[in-house]
Structure 1
Amino acid sequence: MIFCKWNGKLTGLEGANVRVSCITPRITQETLPVFSAESEPTDKKGYYMFDLERNIPARHNIKDDCKVYIGSPGPNNNDCFFPTNDSQGLEGASPNTPSRDLNPNTSLFSVGGFTFVLNRSRD
């Protein structure tokens, strides 16, 4: 989820997104470009989905090579637009928490909630 923190309250942030970036695997001698892609915008409750297994090149190990970063607050957001490092949103959160298998071909990875605030003082 992506939240807006305003006056001490967290609410889901509609229209925001995350960026997923994957580095070159360490075991290869090749220099490959960094893979990076953005999620679709969040829904009105702040939820997003990003199909890592479908969108990330096979040369990357999702748990070891990829990080999820807080992205944009969305085009219509006039209140919360300063990103925070909550849940490592600025540093990059690793989707290395235990994944849940949804079916034989799909696993669900998660990262903590990311937060935007109204001002730099962290509201």
Structure 2
Amino acid sequence: MLMAALTTFSISLILCSLMVVFASASDYGYASKPQPFYKPMLDVKEESLSIGIEGIILCKSGPKTTPIEGAVARIACLGVDEHGYETAPFSILSKPTDSKGYYFATLYPHQLIRRNLKLADCKAFLQDSPLETCKVATDVNKGTTGAPISYSRLLHDKKMRLYSVPPFIFSNGY
């Protein structure tokens, strides 16, 4: 009885050792090349297009909502290198909003090509309000946690893929 238990234990130990060997072999390049885990924002045919991100920034004070002139949004993106691995995030700032609260930011392909990157994912965030009475960033439409940039349209005449973000809102904090 003891011999049978010892034999079963030995077989289990050998099987576990083999599983560890096979698992570690894949960690040292013996397995197939990993597949990229991202969906690029631009098609290969569109790599020469610039990327535009637009939206509006508003101030909510009580029941009233008004556009903020001079506010700024931040666009944070993840890049993917030629091997399919994510890089550290990088950010760009929009131009300050106009009198209607409209902002626009542009990401140019040469900024990515220089670093051998493809865009994998971008999000827009509230960055700054010039109004002392309306400076508290809210998470309306994910203004503080990051609004995914996904809906787009192609502007052939401007050679641009334009992404629109829902309105962001600063408040007075009350």
| TM, length-normalised to structure 2 | 0.59
Change (3 A) 1:35 1:55: farther
- Specify which of 57, 60, 80 is matched with residue 2 of structure 1: 57
Matches for 1:37-116 after TM superposition, within 5 Å = 37-53=92-108, 57-58=112-113, 59-61=117-119, 64-74=120-130, 77-97=131-151, 99-103=152-156, 105-116=159-170
Greater radius of gyration (CA): 2
- Once residues 55 and 84 of structure 1 are traced to their aligned partners in structure 2, the CA distance between those partners, rounded to angstroms, is 33
Q: Distance in 1 between matches of 2:88 and 2:110?
A: 15
Distance apart, 1:112 and its partner CA: 0.5
Matched residue type, 2:104: M
- Establish whether residue 118 from structure 1 lines up as the match of residue 153 from structure 2: no
Q: Structure 1: how far apart are the matches of 2:122 and 2:139?
A: 17
Distance 1:60 1:90, change over 3 A: farther
Residue aligned with 2:112, SS: coil
- 1:35 paired residue number: 90
Matches within 5 A, 1:16-27: 16-25=71-80
Percent of aligned positions that are identical: 32
Compute the TM-score of the two structures, normalised by the length of structure 1.
0.80
Structure having the higher strand fraction is 2
Give the letter aligned to residue 80 of structure 2. Answer: P
Structure 1 residues 56 and 95 mapped into 2: Cα distance closer, same or farther (>3 Å)? Answer: farther
Instruction: Identify the structure with bigger relative contact order (alpha carbons < 8 Å, sequence gap 6+).
Output: 1
* RMSD, matched Cα: 2.2
Q: Across the two proteins, how many residue pairs are aligned to each other?
A: 114
